[in-house]
Amino acid sequence: MATQNPTLEYLTTTKIGEKGQLTVPKEFRDDLGLVNGSPFAVLRLGDGLILVPEQQRFEHLCEQVSSKLTAAGIKPQDLVSTLPETRERVYLRRYGKKLSGSARRRTLHDQRGK
């Protein structure tokens, strides 16, 4: 996997195919661990496009969340313990009613199984 390097560098030129597809050269796919079907975020910056592998963006987000939770002294089990109540609130907001008894039991069962 490539290292996090904030330096902008020119890598190569590629062309858009007839179906709008771009080809990422093999050496860069290998370096970034990209495989067929790897998702990308496409960002527009003025007249340019920035392609960011979603896995890299997801890993970065996870690192940020983890460091914030650690700094706040929040442990994984603290978060997990809030899931049933949070699910109930989200369900109520989305559907305008409370979870049924069976759905509530499933939530508790899922919680114990993890």
Residue 97: the pLDDT is 85
- Neighbour count for residue 53 (Cβ, 10 Å): 19
Residue 113: the pLDDT is 55
Go through the domains of the chain in sequence order and give each one's CATH number. 1-74 (2.10.260.10), 75-114 (no CATH)
Q: Tell me how far apart the alpha carbons of residues 67 and 54 are, in angstroms, rounded to a whole number.
A: 20
Residue 100: the pLDDT is 76
Residue ranges for the chain with pLDDT beneath 50: none
Which residues, other chains included, contact 100 with Cβ-Cβ below 8 Å and sequence gap of 6+?
none
